[in-house]
Amino acid sequence: DQQVKQNSPSLSVQEGRISILNCDYTNSMFDYFLWYKKYPAEGPTFLISISSIKDKNEDGRFTVFLNKSAKHLSLHIVPSQPGDSAVYFCAARTAGGTSYGKLTFGQGTILTVHP
Amino acid sequence: NAGVTQTPKFQVLKTGQSMTLQCAQDMNHEYMSWYRQDPGMGLRLIHYSVGAGITDQGEVPNGYNVSRSTTEDFPLRLLSAAPSQTSVYFCASSYTAVPRANSPLHFGNGTRLTVT
């Protein structure tokens, strides 16, 4: 059972517009969420994160929003640039129990930004 | 600064063969882990280690062994390769075992393994 889901396999946007990548989760034990970006033939790299006690975190062009009641988070990229074209993974950290600290990843969303 | 280095980048195995995927990091990270990435499945944790001499199983450990004799190295062994192990394998490390913004996972560039 997929506890972290990225239901959009791909997203295409025009340069300069906003990109919104979505992620849903089912486990209430998740306490921290991270977004990773992955280029072809490279490993994922950390992009931005948010604690479950916050509802927004911003870093330059990237903002992550968390809606705990809906168990939903989203990554906003404004403005989108062609260099943002990559696969984006959402990951959730388990708060306690035997799986404390473990990351559960979503399936990834391929973002393509057209010039 | 090399970060996390994985070798080889590509490997083709026949069913039943064994091999070791190498992973080394030069950041003095205590935590190291192995993930596999399959289409539509995201990244799934195979094994992890919180320090030299300590290893534990992740979500999908069957068919794989690990050891951690030094802080720097964390090899992944396939005991008897099966077609279901065809995947892209990523090694990752972090300063702490609990990922957060100031201690995120750092990934290697992956090993693409095909088992025929």
pLDDT digits (tens, 9 = 90+) for B57-105: 999 999 999 999 999 999 999 999 999 999 999 999 999 887 777 788 9
Question: 3-class secondary structure for chain A?
Answer: CCCEECCCCEEEEECCCCEEEEEEECCCCEEEEEEEEECCCCCCEEEEEEECCCCEEEECCEEEEEECCCCEEEEEECCCCHHHCEEEEEEEEECCHHHCCCEEECCCEEEEEEC
Q: Which of A100, A57, A95, A94 is nearest to A76 (CA)?
A: A57
Q: Chain A to chain B, count of Cβ pairs less than 8 Å apart?
A: 60
- Give the per-residue pLDDT at A97: 67
Is there a cis peptide before residue A9, judged by omega within 30 degrees of 0? no
Which residue of A lies nearest to B101 if distances are taken between CA atoms?
A49
Which residues 58-87 in chain A show a CB within 8 A of chain B? none
Contact yes or no for B35/B43 (Cβ under 8 A): yes
Record: contact A46-B110, CB cut-off 8 A: no
Q: What are the chain A neighbours of B106 within 8 Å (beta carbons)?
A: 43, 46
Interface test mutation site (partner B, options A5, A89, A103, max chain B beta carbons within 10 A): A103
- Å between B14 CA and nearest CA of chain A: 23
Instruction: Decide if A107 and B42 are in contact by the 8 Å CB cutoff.
Output: yes
Which residues of chain B are at the A interface, by a Cβ-Cβ cutoff of 8 Å?
A: 4, 35, 40-45, 58, 90, 92, 97-101, 104-110
How far apart are alpha carbons B18 and B36 in whole angstroms? 17
What average pLDDT does this structure show over A4-33?
A: 95
Q: What CA–CA distance (Å, rounded) separates B5 from B29?
A: 13
Q: Measured between CA atoms, how close is B38 to chain A, in angstroms? A: 9
pLDDT score at B49: 93
Paired tokens of B69: 């004799």
- On whether the CB atoms of residues B22 and B112 are closer than 8 A, the answer is no
- Over residues B16-68, the pLDDT tens digits come to 999 999 999 999 999 999 999 998 888 999 999 999 999 999 999 999 999 99
With CB atoms and an 8 Å threshold, state whether B98 touches A45. Answer: no
| DSSP 3-state of B69 | coil
Nearest CA in chain B to A59: B101
What does the pLDDT read at residue B101? 76
A101, pLDDT greater than 90:
no
C-alpha–C-alpha distance, residues B65 and B81, integer Å? 12
Q: Which residue of A has its CA nearest to B6?
A: A43
| A27 near B CB under 8 A | no
